[in-house]
Structure 1
């Protein structure tokens, strides 16, 4: 199992360099096909039932073409001397939403890399984009802190695992990275009121399974709960100088609106290193 198609979401010039750097490092290490993806959002201007003024649409299209050209140049300059195959892709969201277009594209790749935030982009349609993509996308998502220009990624990995579906999907979605990492620490977050002996046993069984894939790891148990979990996880990443965290994305959907759990929300907002997540 390996990542053969990696998709880097390049939304604007402020956050795209960090996303591209991480995606490029991964593509080089896995000899993957790297796709630089820009989604052109539809013009979202409320004008009642009147036709859109032609001057408005022309100006919007002109600005979008200029933005696409700048991002394409950024992608080409970063990838033209690399050994992996690269592809620039611009998708017009048309009447569809940026989220739907991004999820649709993401579902065709092995891994999607996206920014933690859209920076100073004032378009409200991009607000909380990673959270919504995590909810809807069927592929692992790597979230990159804005402004972070790392030298390594997935060399030293901290895995947060609590035995549930979300963290298990994230863990096995990260298997190509775990197999190549120089250090992997499995941070077992123990659920309250669970039998300790059983927790230790099932965690060892997981380690044995990963070992058959060539993953050597250290197991650390934690009884943290609530808000303590995020703080403890980020503390462990600092202690081991981790350059990637792997964890599940947790939340609930009251009245069809997805609300992230506290730990997931805190990690997404505050992590200093890339995080691979799966829902």
Structure 2
């Protein structure tokens, strides 16, 4: 079992090198076919503002993104050919500024999706929603690469966040190819309130036993800290354990509720320090 088709979505030239490096790394490990995807977004028009957009502005917008696509494709081709990876390049155009649906359509037939963390302060509006949209709607595991940092390894030392939910279970099993080859896997009970009973499912004992039968070198740990949110606790443990990958379920409650009240998924997507594999 492994990832044999990997889709990497790249839309930002400045961060393309690290995202492509992560994708090539994963493709080499699993001898996978790598698909590169760039989507040219439509121009953003605010419905509250009635204005005429001249043809020159539309052409300039499209030209900018086509130039970005050409440079990213050249880097993709150079990197995959130098590493001897089976690869293909896809370039599509959206008539809408939100490109998520095109990424989702391409993602649904891949084993693993790789894309970059959204930078809410600097990204175009068309990119900010992509990670969350793909996570929610593609039905595939999503590996998100932070917008800052360099990652020489991904998946050698893994922290798995566990809280007994469907999303956490799916993430753990979607990550199984990585967990089987990892030198260390820590299964961390990621909640801030201790349960009333020693439930083996909730505490991760049963999951650890299942993973061990797959020859995963797994250990379990529980540290209840009511002063930390689940997201903050996971980030803290990533640092303490020196993990190079975090695996967790995404959006165990609705995105709207997380946006309003906060939640572990939003916290991690905004503040990740290592690549994160999420499943919904």
Scaled by the length of structure 2, the TM-score of the pair is 0.88
Contact 2:144/2:275 (8 A) holds in 1? yes
Helix, strand or coil: the match of 1:3?
coil
Tell me the distance in 1 between the aligned counterparts of 2:228 and 2:265: 10
For residues 209-249 of structure 1, what are the alpha-carbon distances to aligned partners after superposition, in whole Å with 9 as ceiling and x for unaligned? Answer: 11222212011013235743223222221222110000111
For residues 141-198 of structure 1, what are the alpha-carbon distances to aligned partners after superposition, in whole Å with 9 as ceiling and x for unaligned? Answer: 1111113221110000000001111111111110110011111010023574634322
Helix, strand or coil: the match of 2:11?
coil
1:259 aligns with 2:258: yes
Give 1:49 deviation, angstroms: 9.1
Tell me the distance in 2 between the aligned counterparts of 1:193 and 1:201: 10
Give 1:123 deviation, angstroms: 2.5
1:148 aligns with 2:146: no
Shift in CA distance, 270/88, structure 1 to aligned 2, threshold 3 Å: same
1:244 aligns with 2:245: yes
Contact 1:14/1:119 (8 A) holds in 2? no
Which residue pairs with 1:180 in the alignment? 181
1:8 aligns with 2:12: no
Tell me the distance in 1 between the aligned counterparts of 2:45 and 2:206: 55
Which residue pairs with 2:270 in the alignment? 269
For residues 34-88 of structure 1, what are the alpha-carbon distances to aligned partners after superposition, in whole Å with 9 as ceiling and x for unaligned? Answer: 1111111123346989986443333333223212111111211221111321111
Gaps of 5+ in 1: none
Gaps of 5+ in 2: none
Give 1:206 deviation, angstroms: 1.5
Contact 2:191/2:230 (8 A) holds in 1? no
Helix, strand or coil: the match of 2:160?
strand
1:56 aligns with 2:64: no
Tell me the distance in 2 between the aligned counterparts of 1:169 and 1:235: 23
Shift in CA distance, 128/57, structure 1 to aligned 2, threshold 3 Å: closer
Tell me how large the CA RMSD over aligned residues is.
2.6
Tell me the distance in 1 between the aligned counterparts of 2:95 and 2:133: 19
Matches within 5 A, 1:27-176: 27-45=27-45, 53-95=54-96, 97-118=98-119, 123-176=124-177
Give 1:277 deviation, angstroms: 0.7
Tell me the distance in 2 between the aligned counterparts of 1:175 and 1:235: 23
Give 1:101 deviation, angstroms: 0.8
Contact 2:80/2:87 (8 A) holds in 1? yes
